[in-house]
Structure 1
Amino acid sequence: MATPNELLAQIADVGVDGKRGGYSRHVFDRAEHELRDWFTEQARARGMEVNTDANANLWAWWGEPGPDAVVTGSHLDSVPGGGALDGPLGVASSLAALDRLRAEGVRPRRPLAVTVFAEEEGGRFGVPCLGSRLLAGTIDPDRVRELRDPTGVGFAEAMRSAGLSPEGLGRDDEALSRIGRFVELHVEQGRGLVDRQRPVAVASSILAHGRWRFRFEGQGDHAGTTPMDDRRDPMLPASHLVLAARQAAAGVEGARATAGRMVPTPGGTNVVASTVDVWLDVRSPFEERTRELVLALSETARARAADEGCRVEITEESWADTVSFDAALRDNLTEVLDGAPALPTGAGHDAGVLAARTPSAMLFVRNPTGISHAPEEHAEPDDCAEGAVALARVLEHLTEGERS
């Protein structure tokens, strides 16, 4: 019976990022391919049937696939330079939970599956939760096929190179009809459990959040020969946006605004940029406040661009409303887990996408530092083990498992 940390140790060398630190594992790249092979091998070793759906999501079934199934799992991809647990802990814990159920002689009376969703982080193609969004039909498959990564490779091309066909992308009613309940375990991305002295929590909600790209266009020129008064430098309004985002979010309770990526073109040290792209991530507990914050920042960006003789183009790349997880399922799991606390989160998840289609829930494993999306992300091995035990109890309960 494997523990989550023993399983994670098997993939500890996959996708190590020597430049950023941590891990860079992106959909359809070599590291992600190795992780998918690892999961397939682990699932088949447990006698599970494994298949890949039309949206590149992996499914492993304990017993025959069927309706009203209980599904668990997470993702294996990462942000650039991410931690070891964000995503993989949920997958490893799912396998460990199944090991525990079998060791204890539990036989599910409902179908049980583990899934691995593709491109949850959006680390390669910019849109988070692509696999679950496609499955649920909340994103246009034609748009997804046209997405490009930072090197210019298109999603469709990358999918074909991985041996999969992009022609079948889109809502999968057959797969959706099988999911009766979905439960995702995840490392906590915050410090809500530290003061509660509990290793595991149940999720209550996810903040409304989205990503916007601001493209500032000016005039490229020579850094040494162009007088300051003659410049149309897009780096100035782009920099103003970064500062304005921090200041504006600080004035809205519970809001977060982050400029995590800025790309000047052509990017030379002695060159006035011709364009600067800034990606802005904005979140808050309420949809209208999030939208209002982005509107205010957009007005600031346009004004600062005009001051510099530049223009700005603003594109919404993704959006997710506030998610309130199924209250009955949440309360049920809280009871099963002996009064585990309920916590909101500012991080998006595949469970949040599926929550609009089927009763969904999340379990969080304590993170003593609260750091995530960085190499310092951490959870104690004992807490990870407790998370797998909690997930096993939840799965036994939801599948109405019988003990032999």
Structure 2
Amino acid sequence: MWRELAAIGRETSTGGYRRYAWTAADTDCRSWFRDQAGARGLSHETDRNGNQWAWLGDPAAGDAVVTGSHLDSVPDGGAFDGPLGVVSAFAALDELRSRGAEFTRPLGIVNFGDEEGARFGLACVGSRLTSGQLTREKAYALTDADGITLPGAMEAAGHDPGAIGPDPGRLARIGAFVELHVEQGRALDLSGDRVGIASAIWPHGRWRFDFRGEANHAGTTRLADRRDPMPAYAETVLAARRAAELAGAVATFGKIAVEPNGVNAIPSLVRAWLDSRAADRATLDTVVAEIERAARDRARSDGVDLSVVRESFTPVVEFGHALRDELNRLLGGRVPVLATGAGHDAGILSAAVPTAMLFVRNPTGVSHSPAEFAAEDDCAAGVLALADVLEGLACR
């Protein structure tokens, strides 16, 4: 399975993946998922929001146990973030069948659409729509860098966007959702464990900073006469680093758009996106407020206009202790429990259904990069752990 999936959406010049929502690479990933379901005799469906489901048993019976993750990527992302959870789900089913396990609850495997938000700027679109955390109106307003709307992209890919929106009936069928994911950090590597259990997801969000100045000639305009938005942006980047370090949080400007984007032109607009995360909401609010204060102070002194828009926000997710403790019991009670700063579909669904997460060791901690890695024996350990969990939840 891993070899078949590995070539899809891979950029040869970087070695990273560009599996963006509703593109040709996404279509190929969806075909791969459908083929895996068919090869195992599972029923397959794509829901109104573009999420794929493979079912063993009748999902309408309710109290289903679901596992899976996503197949899309960030720009030039790694091979494991998302796909490891989907591949491991199918592999865990294979393992359970080899054990002769008898299922007493329906089992579902899911590929959530547009988890990374690389194309339309909002993460977890598929699960947010399904859970009602993203309205149809706001979803219809999402556009990519080329001005293509989300519904336009869905329609071009052969999916009807007319029915997108909350799907409470589908969520009501799920008794438990367990997502396996490569760890996006080094906690397991430092502890020497192959597999861990998630305790919580830090609150996190994305903010867009628009610094507006005045375009002019780079060679003839005196420094004193400039309304250059770039220094204000640069100062804001440094302020974000300072604020995050003082608070024990993280803050990153990782995406920027400049107009007119000429070497010999003073910019008229610098648009930058801030990603910030912290262990609690109060700390996150403090960090973002300090970053915005510094940005406004510098913009004011440079004669630059500034607007700040929060494009997305996810509050802290504390995974339910009952399911989390059950996973630990099923795995022998010796599995480390750790929090993460990375967002996941499991975090979005946690408000509607019992959810839990398993992490697989990442020896370098690198993620969202072609260097992302997990050793084969650690991945196999993750599959066996997931199989043990599914057997305990769905085969009793």
Per the normalisation by structure 2, the TM-score is 0.98
Q: Identify which of 265, 273, 277 aligns with 1:283.
A: 277
Question: Which shows bigger deviation, 15-24 or 27-36?
Answer: 15-24
Deviation string, structure 1 residues 357-384 (Cα, Å, up to 9, x no partner): 1110000000000110101100000110
SS of residue in 1 equivalent to 2:247:
coil
Amino acid at match of 1:242: V
Amino acid at match of 1:121: E
8 Å contact from structure 2 (residues 57, 105) kept in 1:
no
Distance change (3 Å), C-alpha of 1:364 and 1:352: same
Question: Which residue matches 2:199?
Answer: 204
Q: CA deviation at 1:332?
A: 1.0
Deviant stretches of 4+, over 3 Å: 18-21
Gaps of 5+ in 2: none
Amino acid at match of 1:126: G
Q: CA deviation at 1:23?
A: 0.7
Question: Which residue matches 2:175?
Answer: 180
Q: Identify which of 251, 256, 264 aligns with 2:246.
A: 251
Q: Distance in 1 between matches of 2:307 and 2:126?
A: 28
Q: Distance in 2 between matches of 1:370 and 1:86?
A: 12
Question: Which shows bigger deviation, 218-227 or 384-393?
Answer: 218-227
Q: CA deviation at 1:400?
A: 2.8
Q: Distance in 1 between matches of 2:92 and 2:226?
A: 61
Amino acid at match of 1:80: P
SS of residue in 2 equivalent to 1:127:
coil
Please say if 1:219 is aligned against 2:214.
yes
Question: Which residue matches 2:289?
Answer: 295
Q: Identify which of 304, 310, 318 aligns with 1:324.
A: 318
Question: Which residue matches 1:236?
Answer: 231
Question: Which residue matches 2:17?
Answer: 23
Distance change (3 Å), C-alpha of 1:9 and 1:104: same
Gaps of 5+ in 1: 1-6
Q: Identify which of 300, 304, 309 aligns with 1:310.
A: 304
Amino acid at match of 1:200: V
Paired residues for 1:2-401 under 5 Å: 7-66=1-60, 67-253=62-248, 255-338=249-332, 339-401=334-396
State the identity as a percent. 49
Question: Which residue matches 1:3?
Answer: none
Q: Distance in 2 between matches of 1:295 and 1:281?
A: 13
Amino acid at match of 1:337: L
Q: Distance in 2 between matches of 1:294 and 1:20?
A: 33
Deviation string, structure 1 residues 162-205 (Cα, Å, up to 9, x no partner): 11122211110111111110000000111111132221111000
Q: Distance in 1 between matches of 2:6 and 2:352?
A: 34
Q: Distance in 2 between matches of 1:279 and 1:132?
A: 22
Q: Distance in 2 between matches of 1:19 and 1:286?
A: 39
Amino acid at match of 2:287: L
Per the normalisation by structure 1, the TM-score is 0.96
Amino acid at match of 2:25: A
Q: CA deviation at 1:301?
A: 1.1
Q: Distance in 2 between matches of 1:313 and 1:19?
A: 36
8 Å contact from structure 2 (residues 21, 114) kept in 1:
yes
Aligned residues: 394
Q: Distance in 2 between matches of 1:364 and 1:74?
A: 12
8 Å contact from structure 2 (residues 203, 314) kept in 1:
yes
Q: Distance in 1 between matches of 2:327 and 2:102?
A: 20
Deviation string, structure 1 residues 205-251 (Cα, Å, up to 9, x no partner): 00010000001100011111211111101111111111110111000
Q: CA deviation at 1:299?
A: 1.4
Deviation string, structure 1 residues 341-399 (Cα, Å, up to 9, x no partner): 11110100000011111110000000000110101100000110110111011011111
Q: Distance in 2 between matches of 1:9 and 1:96?
A: 14
Q: Distance in 1 between matches of 2:190 and 2:268?
A: 49
Amino acid at match of 2:159: L
Give me the CA root mean square deviation.
0.9
Amino acid at match of 1:261: K
Amino acid at match of 2:337: A
Q: CA deviation at 1:21?
A: 3.4
Question: Which residue matches 1:4?
Answer: none
SS of residue in 1 equivalent to 2:59:
coil
